[in-house]
């Protein structure tokens, strides 16, 4: 059974994550993991984020008018990603959660540092044919084992040279497919008990409220400053999670 303190933490976390997504358009899973892993552990935090991650990306994946073109280009990434999500969850089920949490901390730190430098990788061009499935496999395993799709999946999609609308839709498709497979794999490995699944569904309420408020304040807040603050906070959280395992 969930205690009142844990329920309050979960609701506050999803409200804040929804608010951030409402303002800058991304960040929900990483915020949830960064805030809940130190208290609830990685396995529970990943299970809680599944339903909100699926729901928030359905519309983003469908809308945009480029669904077929995107899938035609990244289907090897999606296919290998699905397979390796299952493998990653299998490792997570039998692993020490502290080690996986430490790896998550490293991935969040690298992603935050990369984003703060505003670096941009060059398009893979002729390497794309074999690099796309490789990135899918690495991303899938990392997602299944740590709950993070940012490294290398998101960065690779940003490097493919999609226009803004196509990039947004491609991220939605990627997150939707991977999150759906993650939920199925967690259930298969008994890492998503009924009470956790119900709490994940209930978390849609504070998340939705946070997104609505965030969208209302999007034009009243300096988005560039907000993004920088977000990535600095994510960097600190990632370093903290890593040090908890090392020290």
Confidence of residue 124 (pLDDT cuts 50, 70, 90): confident
Report the percentage of the chain scoring pLDDT > 70: 100
CA Rg value for the chain: 17
* pLDDT of res. 183: 96
- Structure letter (DSSP) for residue 220: T
Tens of pLDDT along 183-242?
999 999 999 999 999 999 999 999 999 999 988 887 787 878 888 989 999 999 999 999
* pLDDT of res. 218: 79
For the entire predicted model, the pTM comes to 0.91
* pLDDT of res. 132: 96
CA distance 197 to 224: 35
* pLDDT of res. 235: 94
Cα 29-67-163 angle, rounded to 5 deg:
75
Tens of pLDDT along 14-73?
999 999 988 888 888 999 999 999 999 999 999 999 999 999 999 889 988 899 999 999
Task: Report whether pLDDT(161) > 80.
Answer: yes
- Burial class of residue 209 in the structure, from the number of CB atoms within 10 Å of its CB (0-12 exposed, 13-18 middle, 19+ buried): middle
Confidence of residue 245 (pLDDT cuts 50, 70, 90): confident
Domain ranges of the chain: 4-246
* pLDDT of res. 135: 97
Confidence of residue 116 (pLDDT cuts 50, 70, 90): very high
Question: Do the Cβ atoms of 151 and 109 come closer than 8 Å?
Answer: no
| SS3 call for 63 | coil
Q: Output the average pLDDT for the chain.
A: 92
* pLDDT of res. 1: 65
* pLDDT of res. 69: 94
DSSP string, 161-208: T--HHHHHHHHHHHHHHHHHHHHHHHHHTT-S-HHHHHHHHHTHHHHH
């Amino acid at each position: 059974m969930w205690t009142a303190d844990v329920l309050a933490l979960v609701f506050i976390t999803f409200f804040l994550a929804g608010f951030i997504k409402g303002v800058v358009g991304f960040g929900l899973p990483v915020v949830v993991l960064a805030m809940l892993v130190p208290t609830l552990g990685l396995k529970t935090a990943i299970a809680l984020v599944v339903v909100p991650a699926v729901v928030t990306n359905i519309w983003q994946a469908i809308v945009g008018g480029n669904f077929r073109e995107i899938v035609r280009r990244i289907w090897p990434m999606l296919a290998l990603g699905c397979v390796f999500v299952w493998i990653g969850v299998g490792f997570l089920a039998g692993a020490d959660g502290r080690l996986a949490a430490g790896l998550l901390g490293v991935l969040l730190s690298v992603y935050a540092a990369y984003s703060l430098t505003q670096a941009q990788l060059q398009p893979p061009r002729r390497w794309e044919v074999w690099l796309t499935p490789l990135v899918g496999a690495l991303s899938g395993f990392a997602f299944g084992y740590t709950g993070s799709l940012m490294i290398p999946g998101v960065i690779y999609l940003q490097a493919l040279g999609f226009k803004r609308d196509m990039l947004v839709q491609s991220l939605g498709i990627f997150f939707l497919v991977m999150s759906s497979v993650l939920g199925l794999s967690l259930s298969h490995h008994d890492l998503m008990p009924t009470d956790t699944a119900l709490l994940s569904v209930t978390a849609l309420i504070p998340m939705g409220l946070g997104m609505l408020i965030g969208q209302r304040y999007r034009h009243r807040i300096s988005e560039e400053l907000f993004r920088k603050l977000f990535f600095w906070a994510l960097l600190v959280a990632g370093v903290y999670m890593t040090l908890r395992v090392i020290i």
